[in-house]
Amino acid sequence: MEMKKICYVANIINVLSKKWNLLILRELNDNGKERFNELLRKISGINSRTLSKRLKELEKTNIIKKTRFNEIPPRVEYSLTESGRALIQCFVYLDSWTKKYM
């Protein structure tokens, strides 16, 4: 029986290549933390169902975190995790590489 090789790079590229995910990460990087409706307003063209789905996916991969506040009305904020901030640095490097070699 042959074991399947796990390709972690392919896994993260699969997550990042989904429509809207890079825009969500950009907003969270630019603003530190955002509430759901703020993200919905700032990301032109995304609908609430898709935004909810993408946020759950990014949270599951530990790129973003969801912070719930015990308030009335309930308040939830999204922000980058440590690994999310490290991922942003990869994009900064990629941007530099592109400017230099492309």
pLDDT tens per residue across span 25-72:
999 999 999 999 999 999 999 999 999 999 999 999 999 999 999 998
Residue 3 lies in a domain: no
Q: Which pTM does this prediction carry?
A: 0.86
* The two three-digit tokens of residue 61, written as one number: 């991969």
* 82: CATH: 1.10.10.10
In a domain, 42, yes or no: yes
In-domain check, residue 2: no
Sign, CA torsion 12/66/37/86: negative
pLDDT of residue 88: 96
CB-neighbour burial class of residue 70 (10 A; exposed 0-12, middle 13-18, buried 19+):
exposed
Whether residue 26 lies inside any domain: the answer is yes
- Is residue 39 included in any domain, yes or no? yes
Helical pair 21-31 and 8-16, crossing angle rounded to 10 deg: 80
Domain assignment present for residue 1? The answer is no
For residue 79, give both structure tokens: 């922000």
Residues 8-14, mean pLDDT to the nearest whole number: 89
Give the mean pLDDT of 89-99. 94
Q: State how many domains the chain has.
A: 1
pLDDT score recorded for residue 83: 96
Structural domain for 13, as ranges: 8-101
Peptide bond into 74 cis (omega under 30): no
Check pLDDT > 90 for residue 74.
no
The answer to whether residue 37 is domain-embedded is yes
